[in-house]
Structure 1
């Protein structure tokens, strides 16, 4: 992609190590640490957990949803939806978008036919690309040093294991960061193909549609400080329409292939029955998050009202941090609008459980806010906290993984 940055050229005296190489070294160091964590988690895996005794790193990196992507690559999408003994739609491939699974299948012959190896290579390469794009996107807003630290937090963060397992997140993040970078630089032409790639890599493009809508509103109200030209208005409307169409197209595709108009939603709701056995199987925006907060409040002994009150406090704190803290404001309106859009999207569609940590990864540009303070002690402390959080997540999801509390 063409250079989208709007920052000033870096003086020659500071070009001893190219930024791409600096980010690569940081990223490789982070991946080495993650591999060590995964190896330790495999060694600690015991009977009764997801992977059992004698697990290997290979078992872990192709476990959980990676198995679904592999199954999709081998078997494709079902034309007849599988059913449970009770007659409800069972978990199936329609919950997973096609690009990652089929791209790994296309690359597999180059690595001896091993789909898992191809999938992990895609994640590794995409993770580096996303880390570098994040650095370039943030550099013009918070400066080169802070952007490097933000990239380090991202590369070593609590969910950084996603860069070396068979999940589509890293590839999605690459498309997403490129699209956000293009929007911040007003290079809208680049965003069109990225919207399509995002939409068929993993769910979340409807959040981008909301972001484009909020971005358009912000541009309208800020037009006195940055003129809003007709060409930009056309791009904003067209991109919002495209993202919306792509976001809903998967439901239409699933309906056409299976003959069931509710095939996709029924498939997504099938996962919820792991917690809500009496779930009626109907989708209402925001209902799942409220019901989930009440459910976990009762599980934790706080009562349903306690769970909902906790949710309200978390949302209020997140809103305050995004809107008013100077560190977040330094990132610029585009990144903050994206974070708001994605969080609203999660609240509208997701039932909260341990996967919420993974699903929060798309708001990773907010790492830049934690990199803004110039104190070395602060930055090193955040990096240590990232690594500690990464081990906590890997240990719980892979060494102790189960179908109720610990699902990545």
Structure 2
């Protein structure tokens, strides 16, 4: 911890962040190696699991398949005639970049963690730039530390997943909004849209941001050119958000191909549920988990409502969150609303919350060393728990990252 403090004070920001990031990756690597050693016959990775097999587990296999053979022209069907899980659920930017790097570096399994690690470091640099003006250098360095190895999902920075790359585009997009560099958004938005789902929330954020700026136009001049950029980028994000489903339908000949592909994962939890209705997945999941946990469904729904209300209150009223700036606050609210509308809460919930990482800045604000060290240690413990549960154990439907 003293090393982290000295780095925040003495080293240039890029070097200090590199030091923090390298230490975090060493910690995660040690966790993954330990999980491989603890993996037994009941784990999906088996008793002979290795660091490489864990790195290339789960979604990494789909990205590898896309890099190797592309997307299917015909949708696969299960025994009941429903669309089965297939590669169309995964966006192309990460496998294209990783496949290109793998052609030079010696294959996709080598390139996948390299691309994730590089994207993670760059995301740390952007997060620091996004927060520094708002909360100061030292607190921004601590926020980067929390981001890079104090969260349950910090392992994603070296797994064959697209989250680190999406996080990079997202943070660059938020930085562009924060500094009003509107032309950059025309690049970051398409990259975001074709890396992972979530750009529709960015479109909503821009709409809310535009309304906020309009309400303050007498205090903060809003020029016609800015209005044009905000509206154009919001529309671009909306178009890009719906582009992949359209592309999927055109290639496969099934207009609802992408929707049915995504619902295939939900069917593995609750069977044939009749289709997609916004916000219905959240209610279905609450009913499902109430049965698994043995509590009334109304208790799960009430608990979920309380959590949503508390988070909303924090985003709106908490002084530490308010210091992070309006773009981060609006993004956090828009993304949570997006998740509630489209997501089916299950074992991947922690992973789906990674785009809320700018909120680490609020936890970094208290100046107490013990507070910051406590958050760091608690986050590391959470990371070990997630790696152990999902990889060393990985034996039940609730242990899927």
Q: How does 1:44-83 map to 2 (within 5 A)?
A: 44-83=38-77
Q: Report if aligned partners of 1:37, 1:391 keep a CA contact under 8 Å in 2.
A: yes
> Larger deviation: 25-34 or 210-219?
210-219
**Number of residues of Structure 1 aligned to a counterpart in Structure 2:** 393
Q: Report if aligned partners of 1:131, 1:151 keep a CA contact under 8 Å in 2.
A: yes
- The TM-score with structure 2 as length reference comes to 0.96
How far apart, in 1, do the equivalents of 2:282 and 2:9 lie?
Answer: 48
Q: How does 1:235-246 map to 2 (within 5 A)?
A: 235-246=229-240
Q: How does 1:11-50 map to 2 (within 5 A)?
A: 16-50=10-44
Tell me, yes or no, if structure 1 residue 283 matches structure 2 residue 276.
yes
Tell me, yes or no, if structure 1 residue 295 matches structure 2 residue 294.
no
Tell me, yes or no, if structure 1 residue 149 matches structure 2 residue 142.
yes
How far apart, in 1, do the equivalents of 2:32 and 2:77 lie?
Answer: 35
Tell me, yes or no, if structure 1 residue 331 matches structure 2 residue 324.
yes
The offset of 1:15, in angstroms, is 7.8
Q: Report if aligned partners of 1:91, 1:271 keep a CA contact under 8 Å in 2.
A: yes
The offset of 1:403, in angstroms, is 5.1
Name the structure 2 match of 1:340. Answer: 333
The offset of 1:110, in angstroms, is 1.2
2:392 pairs with one of 393, 396, 399: 399
How far apart, in 2, do the equivalents of 1:29 and 1:205 lie?
Answer: 31
For the aligned residues, what is the CA RMSD? 1.1
Q: Report if aligned partners of 1:298, 1:307 keep a CA contact under 8 Å in 2.
A: no
The unaligned stretches of length 5 or more in structure 1 are: 1-13
The offset of 1:224, in angstroms, is 2.1
Deviation per residue, 1:271-293 (Å, 9 max, x gap): 0012102322x111111111111
Deviation per residue, 1:298-348 (Å, 9 max, x gap): 211112212111110110111111111111111111101000011011011
How far apart, in 1, do the equivalents of 2:155 and 2:216 lie?
Answer: 39
Moved >4 Å (runs of 4+): none
Q: Report if aligned partners of 1:104, 1:119 keep a CA contact under 8 Å in 2.
A: yes
Deviation per residue, 1:243-293 (Å, 9 max, x gap): 00000000110010000000000000000012102322x111111111111
How far apart, in 2, do the equivalents of 1:350 and 1:344 lie?
Answer: 10
Deviation per residue, 1:148-197 (Å, 9 max, x gap): 00000000122110000000000010111011001000111111110000
- Higher-helix-fraction structure: 2
Deviation per residue, 1:11-40 (Å, 9 max, x gap): xxx985210000000000000000000000
Q: How does 1:1-400 map to 2 (within 5 A)?
A: 16-112=10-106, 114-156=107-149, 157-280=151-274, 282-400=275-393
